[in-house]
Structure 1
Amino acid sequence: MTRAAVIGASGGIGKALADALEEEGTEVLRLSRPELDVTEEATIAAAATRAGSPELVIVATGVLHEGEYGPEKSLRELDAAWLARNYAINAIGPALVAKHFLPIMPRTGRSVFAVLSARVGSIGDNRLGGWYGYRASKAALNQLIRTLAIEDKRRNDRGLVVALHPGTVATRLSAPFRQSGRDLFQPDRAAVQLLDVLDGLKPTDSGRHFAWDGAEVPA
């Protein structure tokens, strides 16, 4: 990859991904708020007009907690506005990035469009419940990725559209919810692991969801 765009490049994982790519010699366009806000489609469209034709696009945005809101522990905590906010940032935003960035990516040769998802978005792996908005919005994101991958094959049969689970990373997003004794990655290590996963994927892997160790996450 010689040119990449990282959306959410001011966040912990996004910055680490951009740094790692630049260390490999990749030209990186770093995009973050307010220049590109995934809840404002006009900013996405404007950013795409100056992105050239990147072989790699990574969407590293997401919300888990904001202000007084956080993951719901039970049904009684459901709030319509907070659910909508989860969907807007975790699912709709990345889909709109795809709408404007996939058409400008190369039509021949290898290209990769990747989004940061989460294992908790897996329906088959949900054994604990709770975290309604985050789980549901990430599940929606995974379905969007699957659907985008099918359509994108008509544009470039060697293109990849995938979701990635980075594990628990030491960032502001995970800070209030880290469990002692649980594996915790620093952003720079998480970035290298995710890029290694992408390097090992084949066009037939498009539409799927992979964890930081290369294992597929169940739908």
Structure 2
Amino acid sequence: MAESRRYALNAQLDIEQILQEAQHRWLRPAEICEILQNYKKFRIAPEPPNRPPNGSLFLFDRKVLRYFRKDGHNWRKKKDGKTVKEAHERLKAGSVDVLHCYYAHGEDNENFQRRSYWMLEEELSHIVLVHYREVKGNRTNYSRIRDADSTPVSQQSEAVSNSEVDSSAASRFQSYDYQRASPITETSLNSTLASDLEDAESGVTTG
């Protein structure tokens, strides 16, 4: 069963190049899988970041850090006014469902978005990759990731964000403050992966 979850790549992806690309665009499903499958090469953030900037990437172990979504940002809430509202989709690499993806939109700035990813494969499902970006416009368009080898299977709310905008929002990717977040690499890649996935599963309230 685990093998059926794996995606096929024609060539091994360059992870460092992927991280550089994350400064300018949302990552593709195959690229996200490459990071998640090689998570042992990176640092896992021991605690949530405090208001991570545009372009930040974080890796979390959600078995260890249940409330990794507590990032200090004000995200759009559900009707109860407490629980973060997140859209959910399953993403494909090739023809195989490989990823859960959860989207959150900023309450004060709807163009600031957080995407949290983890693999369907049970053995790796505890590792979460979180990407923060500010995009231009507020259309709910997922076309770029779809074109890049991904097919959303379920769309549980209107909160899906536009992935088509190429912004240099992640310009702080290499200058992120080491004091405030744990970089996924111990070299110059100072962006970290923080994800809000637990909110969707456990109904964790914020505030």
- Give the TM-score normalised by the residue count of structure 2: 0.29
| Larger helix share, 1 or 2 | 1
- Give the TM-score normalised by the residue count of structure 1: 0.28
Which structure's CA Rg is the greater one?
1
| Larger strand share, 1 or 2 | 2
Higher relative contact order, chain-length normalized (CA < 8 Å, sep 6+): 2
